[in-house]
Amino acid sequence: MARKKCRGFYLLLFAAVFAVAFGAAKLASASYITGQIYIDEKGGALFDVESDVNPQISGLSYDNGKLHGTTQALTQKQGEVWTFALELGEYNTILLDIHLPSSLEKIISIDGPTSAFDVEKRTLSVFDSNKELKLRLSYVLRNANGSSRALIAFFALLFVLLAFAGSFAYFKWRERKKRFEQIFPLVNEQEQRIIEALMRAPARQKELRKKLGIPKASFSRYVANLEKKKLIVREGDGKNKVLKLR
């Protein structure tokens, strides 16, 4: 009787060990995994994947053959290099699209099953059969701080150029002003008023005459005198004539 009980115990123990081994073998060799994985700029991996076995990844949920959610457990950063790693055992069918962030600058390395990278879409397509899904993808993103520094440098250069252009224009204006001030004794008071007005900006002949309140005949005479002295020029025709300093 004792021998029969002992024999029954060993049979139960063998059955239990076999069940555990079978379950482990099934888990280690899932038949398929397909779907999309989206990696953001902070290393978060969003899963929209189907598989017949739950790979039990931290942060992800598995329901009715669907693996979904976001996890930080698969990415790490060293310096400026990000690395995304998947180690999920052997599959009969592997069909995964891994989408990298829009700020992707370059791919450093891709190790694992057969894959192809679409540069335009920034997507790594992994496709293989009867293979262990052991993928390692290293990449670099554009540095936001570096972009900011480049932008600051651009505006600093623009400021310097504008300051230089402003200084050049100011010295040119001051030179011209000094030149005309030297000839003021050679012109009458009304001609001086015309010159001073044009030193601020070119003006239409009719508008300048009205602004200075000079009679039309006198104004035409003053303008003609200044032209003869090569101090001003008239451009345009008819009512659209514009006066400006030489």
User: Residue-wise pLDDT tens for the chain (246 aa)?
Assistant: 544 444 545 444 444 444 444 444 444 445 899 999 999 999 999 999 999 989 999 999 999 999 999 999 999 999 999 999 999 989 999 999 999 999 999 999 999 999 999 999 999 999 999 999 999 999 999 985 555 566 677 778 888 888 887 777 677 667 666 666 666 667 788 888 888 888 888 888 888 888 888 888 888 888 888 888 788 888 877 667 888 887
Q: Give the Cα separation of 76 and 74 in Å (integer).
A: 7
Count of domains in the chain? 2
Write out the DSSP string of 216-241. HHHHHHHHHHHHHTTSEEEESSGGG-
Start-to-end CA distance of the chain, whole Å, equals 129
- Domain of residue 47, residue span: 29-142
125 and 34, same structural domain? yes
Asked if the structure places residue 233 within a domain, the reply is yes
pTM of the model: 0.51
128 and 195, same structural domain? no
Asked if the structure places residue 162 within a domain, the reply is no
Asked if the structure places residue 97 within a domain, the reply is yes
Tell me the three state secondary structure of residue 246.
coil
Sign of CA dihedral 158, 160, 163, 164: negative
CATH (domain of 232):
1.10.10.10
Q: Give the Cα separation of 11 and 35 in Å (integer).
A: 43
